[in-house]
Amino acid sequence: MFSLEITKDYQELSERAAELVVKQLKKKANSVLGLATGSTPLGCYEQLVKLYKAGELDFSGVHSVNLDEYRGLAAEDKNSYRHFMDENLFSKINIVKEHTHVPDGMEENREKACKDYDAEILSVGEIDLQILGLGLDGHIGFNEPADFFSKGTNCVRLTDETIESNQRFFRSKEEVPREAYTMGIGSIFSAKKILLLVSGKAKAGILEKALKGPVTPRVPASILQFHRDLTVLADEEAASALS
């Protein structure tokens, strides 16, 4: 069972998502937040920054773990997810930099990168609220369609569809890294609460599959149907294929 909230548009979706984060922080000031990148959570982050600047939010006790990072991109690279988070959220609020965790894209040794990140995730404790976006192929984090659900952090080869969809952030398709480190589905699933944000017509078909179709690693987000505390926030366009 999940709760589905349909909003008029992206703006309303972002405001509602921020409201749910605020609710979480009011309940527990030292919450562990699982954070996502991509265009979808940006509006929510903007709202959180606004509320912080208005003196309504305090992130000093918050810890965060991000879902993923491109393999081969340094923190300073403007396309790295570390840079994205610093730019769009962390540098604009009073979160302690050392409390923020993103996989190390510059660790070449895949096994070590994954082991290290699993240890980081463990060190912050249970994720209280995990924010997720949805890939066009149903991926969450960078867990692409596969034969099985991943448990811990893993190194994935990005699918052509994902590379094409993410090339908008890069100068060319060739520049998009082919691999990424991502938190595993098992770790994502261990979060106490999950908030899935989905916006736009292009996501309507995959959202319907994820929420109404069979639970299968071919549609990684479908596992969320089994979660005990999932809220789906979708705007009208994204929800248009759900009857």
The question of whether 139 is a catalytic residue gets the answer yes
- Establish if 37 lies at the interface with ligand GLP (CB under 6 A): yes
Part in contact with ligand GLP (CB under 6 A); list of ranges 2-10, 32-40, 108-116, 120-128: 32-40
- Clarify whether 137 is annotated catalytic: yes
Q: Please select the residue that binds ligand GLP; options are 153, 166, 187, 231, rule is CB under 6 A.
A: 166
Q: From the candidates 69, 137, 227, 235, which is the catalytic residue?
A: 137
> Considering only residues 102, 142, 230, 233, which one is a binding residue for ligand GLP as defined by CB under 6 A?
142
- Figure out which of the listed residues 133, 177, 184, 220 binds ligand GLP, where binding follows CB under 6 A: 133
Residue among 68, 104, 107, 137 that touches ligand GLP (CB under 6 A): 68
- Contact between 162 and 139 under an 8 Å Cβ cutoff? The reply is yes
Q: Within its chain, how far is the Cα of 133 from the centroid?
A: 5
What is the residue-wise DSSP string for 140-192?
Answer: BTTB-S-SS---S-EEEEPPHHHHHHHGGGSSSGGGS-SEEEE--HHHHHTSS
Q: 144 an active-site residue? A: yes
CA distance 75 to 79: 9
Q: Are 155 and 179 in contact (CB under 8 A)?
A: yes
Q: Does the footprint of ligand GLP cover residue 162 (CB under 6 A)?
A: yes
141 close to 38: Cβ distance less than 8 angstroms = no
Task: Assess 153 for contact with ligand GLP (CB under 6 A).
Answer: no
Structural tokens at position 128: 């209280």
Min dist CB 202 to ligand GLP, Å, is 8
| Positions marked catalytic | 68, 137, 139, 144
